Amino acid sequence: MTDHEKQLVFQRLRNRQIEALELASSWSAQLSYQNAAPAISVANEVINQWDDTWFSDETSCPEPIYTKPEETALREYSRVLADLCQRTPSPLPELSTVFALSEWNELREAAQSSLKVMMIRGKF
C-alpha cells in the first residue's frame, strides 16, 4: 500500500471513529437508531462500531491524521469502553435498561469528551 493509500485509509477510519463517538455520546441518537432498526441491539452496536474502527497498537493514530490530544482522547474512550465491557453482561440488555447503567453514562461522557477533541479538526 502506498503512503497516499495509507493516508486515505486512516482518514476514513477517523471519520468512522467520529461517527461511532457521535452515536455513543447521544442517547437520542441511540433511541432513533433503535426505533429505526428494532431488531438490532443498539447498545451492542455502539461497542461493535468502535471495535470496527479502533486498533490500539502504536500505529493506530498516525500524524498528520491525528494530533497527540486526539490520540489521547481516543485511547481514553477506548479504555472506558473496555472497562464497560468487563463490568456489564454480554450481550447487553435492551437499550432502556442500558440507559440506567452507570457504566453506560460513563461511556457517554467519555464519548462526548473525545468527540469534543476530535471535532476541533472534524472529519477529513
Return the pLDDT at 56: 81
Residues 60 and 70: their CA atoms lie apart, in Å, by: 11
109 membership: H or E segment, kind and range? helix 102-118
DSSP 41-82: -HHHHHHHHHHHH---STTSS-TTTS-HHHHHHHHHHHHHHH
pLDDT tens digits for range 69-109: 999 999 999 999 999 999 999 999 999 999 999 999 999 99
Residues 118 and 14: their CA atoms lie apart, in Å, by: 9
Listed in sequence order, the residues at least 6 apart from 108 whose beta carbon sits closer than 8 Å to its beta carbon are: 24, 25, 26, 27
Enumerate the domain spans of the chain.
Answer: 3-118
pLDDT band at 5, cuts 50/70/90?
Answer: very high
pLDDT tens digits for range 40-70: 999 999 999 999 999 888 778 999 999 999 9
Distance separating the N- and C-terminal Cα atoms of the chain: 20
Return the pLDDT at 73: 98
Record the pTM: 0.95
Please give the single-letter amino acid code of residue 54: W
